[in-house]
Amino acid sequence: MTPEGISAGGNVSTVRHFVLLGFSDLPELQGFLSGVFTIIYLVVLIGNSLIITVTILDCALQRPMYFFLANFSSLEICYVSVTLPRILFDLWAQKRNISVQGCATPLCFFLLMGTTECFLLAVMSYDRYVAICHPLRYPLLMNPKKCAQLAAGSWLGAVPVQIGQTCQIFSLNFCKSNQIAHFFCDISSILKLACGDTSAQEVSLCVVTMVFAAVPFVMILASYSKIASTVLRLPTAQGRAKAFSTCSSHLLVVVLFFGSVGITYFRPKSSHSAGTDKLLSLFYTVVTPMFNPFIYSLRNKDVTEALRKLFLQTQCRGSS
């Protein structure tokens, strides 16, 4: 008997749609999880929207550092919107079926957003490197045109590759099962359902990951090694503290993102399990984007002051 969603054709059965198992193994927690994820989504939307708003409206934040921060906050909204609405739909409607095309499209956007995040974090570290190590050349090296080019490159640089990789994955035949043991269409979960040899796709995935994740991470490490070397040579402790404070928020976000992604995708296969994979994926797809507005607002005096002025202006308008 062929499983639901799988049609037989000759000697091979092909999947017509997938079933996202998500959190179906926790039936007693569906309502609680729905409430938690709704709150997280609202926090991500409101928190990042506030950062975008103050970087546009506040003249003190019209600098490259905050231009990239606004791009990063926009990215976080897009990144979370690829996965969280589907999670909430599954929890609310209890309809977990998803078409093959409906699985491929969000996967492609998920890969694009993940790659863009790697690139943007590398660009933000380069911005801090130029500001601290070459302050006199900073206005020239990070002029508005160069910032726009770096941002556009981060958003668009991986589009052809990730579209090609998605097409390569979904050109496979899926005949083992149609049940994805995840809350979104993750590459590793999908490849497990493919029949036949998937070594070419796995090699391609490894190469793309090395280029689009490992290379930006190495660039970030190189930037911060130069920054640390420069800051430690500053004559005063106050100067060193001020220089490090401009990097601390970004560095914390880098550790959270690359740390969770690295643990998820580069740990030994023997330690993989559906529950652990879902938990780790939740951290870098949902939890980290929720933390980012707090990290940048609480650890950055300029953003904190801009938010305070925005709230005061809103209160004055409301009371007038």
**Domain-located, residue 312:** no
b/e burial code for range 23-59 (CB count within 10 A of at least 16 → b):
bbeeeeebeebbeebeebbebbbebbebbbebbeebe
- Residue 109 CA to residue 158 CA, distance in Å, equals 11
The per-residue pLDDT for 288 is 86
CATH number, domain of 240, equals 1.20.1070.10
**Domain-located, residue 281:** yes
CB 73 within 8 A of CB 52: yes
**Which residues on neighbouring strands pair with residue 99, listed in sequence order?**
17
**Which residues on neighbouring strands pair with residue 14, listed in sequence order?**
7
Is-above-0.85 flag for pTM?
A: yes
pLDDT of 11 higher than 60: no
**Domain-located, residue 155:** yes
Domain limits at 77? 17-302
**Domain-located, residue 142:** yes
Average pLDDT value for residue range 56-66? 89
- Residue 88 CA to residue 102 CA, distance in Å, equals 16
**Domain-located, residue 315:** no
Sign of CA dihedral 28, 19, 75, 241: positive
**Domain-located, residue 245:** yes
**Domain-located, residue 307:** no
Radius of gyration of the chain (CA): 22
- The total number of structural domains in the chain stands at 1
- The mean-pLDDT minimum among 130-144, 216-230, 233-247 falls in 233-247
Q: For the chain, where are the E strands, in sequence order?
A: 6-9, 12-15, 17-20, 97-99, 179-180
pLDDT tens-digit readout, 264-297: 777 666 666 667 777 788 888 888 888 888 888 7
The per-residue pLDDT for 263 is 79
With 0-12 / 13-18 / 19 or more C-beta atoms within 10 angstroms meaning exposed / middle / buried, residue 310 is middle
Backbone angles phi, psi at 197, to 5 degrees: -80, 125
pLDDT band at 46 (very low <50, low <70, confident <90, very high): very high
Whole-number Cα distances in Å, 277 to 162, 205, 267:
22, 17, 11
Backbone angles phi, psi at 16, to 5 degrees: -95, -30
Residues with Cβ within 8 Å of residue 6, at least 6 apart in sequence: 13, 14, 15, 16, 175, 177, 178
**Domain-located, residue 12:** no
